Amino acid sequence: MTVTYTARVANARFGGFSQLLLLWRGSIYKLLWRELVCFLGLYMALSAAYRFVLTEGQKRYFEKLVIYCDQYASLIPVSFVLGFYVTLVVHRWWNQYLCMPLPDALMCVVAGTVHGRDERGRLYRRTLMRYAGLSAVLILRSVSTAVFKRFPTIDHVVEAGFMTREERKKFENLNSSYNKYWVPCVWFSNLAAQARREGRIRDNSALKLLLEELTVFRGKCGMLFHYDWISVPLVYTQVVTIAVYSYFLACLIGRQFLDPAQGYEGHDLDLCVPIFTLLQFFFYAGWLKVAEQLINPFGEDDDDFETNFLIDRNFQVSMLAVDEMYDDLAMLEKDLYWDATEARAPYTAATAFLRQQPSFQGSTFDITLAKEDMQFQRLDGVDGPLGEAHSDFLQRLLPVGAGTAAGGLLGRRLSLMRRKNSCVSETSTAASCTCAGAPDGAAPECGCGDPLLDSGLREPEPELPAGPELSVPGPAAEPFTTVPMPAPRGPAPPWLPSPIGEEEESLA
């Protein structure tokens, strides 16, 4: 059963984790004490042999061996290799739990799409969820030792009520040498299609939603099978294990206390028990034991997944959802805050102080600026309103008199942009339109006669005298071509925003 200590560490306080050190079940002490006793026993045996068994010549040779092992044991990259391995195992462990097939989403869809309060409708819903539970049982008994001990044969599955005897015959008569956990999912699909034909499922969209949830459920069952099949590469596990064991085998000799009378560097103190070596063994070997426990969470360790509990829970809640709770609704009533403009749930005395805390508005909400720092700055070399700078820049990009095909298109785009941006004056782009010089009867290409702008919504424009003419270079045969400048337009229709500065231009 999983060891849960979440409530013990709900609040951070002084020595919060220290109270967890005294727990035995699921602890590192329970997992490591045998290895620790074995390491300490071997160390003490070598120490006793050095002190009381070896001759003086043998002691000198052993002392050189101790110095050699202590010097070169640090070349083994224990922390580097072990750290990456444990990170991989922990990530794999959590992903396996996320692949546990839970029927919660599927049972809600079944209850909402498979209709009928009669016995046959009830039979459809319960059978569909029983098939989903059967698929989960078949895959879990394939990967979990605890579930296999509970259902060692198909007969036990039948006796438990997950499968009928007729279904067992069909299951066993299916000729396949592979794991057949997917067979109940196919039964589910066939039964859902039959319910659709009978009108229990009212449209194809509901059937599609039901099969999509079944696909997600079956996908999780398949992922459990693949996690059980594809393990962490064996070579990686072997490298980590050899690195840890060889390191502490060297520490058995290299961390021995030598006779201080011999004057070896770093051996001025003679103790019997290597305190820090034991701590190092506790950390590194404990790290390896953590990976050993988490690499397959479907066993019977203290922190392995409670698969039998999940089977019981999933089967019970799925049957409740599609049977007793089907079409079972409370009477609709107005909620407590029906007439409240600002609904807010009450607080108890223990949480009343939370009402005084302001709501979070954003990390920049409290930033203040000086008044002079909040003024917009003009571009260098630009006189006049800020909006005219952008318009003048666009006007410089428009070819004047170069033809109506390119210039007219840009002129139309600029006209639309000017009316969307209230900061650009309407008359500032009048010179960019070259359709005014088109001959009589020719269709303008620039779009000045756009029906959106020149429809009945526009007020009639007064006839104004033509503007001045502009001479621009023409073809080689004609040194200069005279292009008449269009007269300024009349006032914009009322549904367009008034550009800034239009009143000043008209007055001028």
pLDDT in tens, 178-216: 999 999 999 999 999 999 999 999 999 999 999 999 999
| DSSP sequence for 442-453 | PPPSSSTT-HHH
Q: What is the mean pLDDT of residues 151-175?
A: 96
In tens, the pLDDT along 297-349 reads 999 998 899 999 999 999 999 999 999 999 999 999 999 999 998 888 999 99
Dihedral sign (CA 149, 155, 161, 166): positive
Residue-wise over 351-383: b if at least 16 C-beta within 10 A, else e?
eeeeeeeeeeeeeeeeeeeeeeeeeeeeeeeee
Which one is predicted more confidently, 5 or 191?
191
Token pair in block for residue 68: 């050699």
Please give the pLDDT value at position 138: 97
Distances (CA, A) of 142 to 2, 216, 221, 226, 229: 21, 19, 11, 11, 10
pLDDT surpasses 90 at 425: no
Please give the pLDDT value at position 178: 95
Would you give the DSSP letter of residue 196? H
Q: What is the mean pLDDT of residues 8-14?
A: 87
CB atoms within 10 A of CB 501: 18
Which one is predicted more confidently, 23 or 508?
23
pLDDT surpasses 90 at 13: no
Cα(164)–Cα(155) distance, integer angstroms: 10
Please give the pLDDT value at position 399: 54
The answer to whether 496 and 419 have CB atoms below 8 angstroms apart is yes
Cα(174)–Cα(305) distance, integer angstroms: 31
Q: Which residue has the tokens 């290799």?
A: 81
Please give the pLDDT value at position 469: 47
Taking the CA atoms of residue 336, residue 341, residue 344 and residue 346 in that order, the dihedral angle to the nearest 10 degrees is: -60
Q: Which residues on neighbouring strands pair with residue 470, listed in sequence order? A: 483
Cα(306)–Cα(328) distance, integer angstroms: 31
Token pair in block for residue 199: 């009108």
Which runs of consecutive H residues, i.e. helices, occur in 198-306? 204-229, 234-254, 275-294
* Its pTM surpasses 0.75: no
| DSSP sequence for 472-508 | EE--SSSSEEEEEPPPPP-PPPTTSPPPTTHHHHHH-
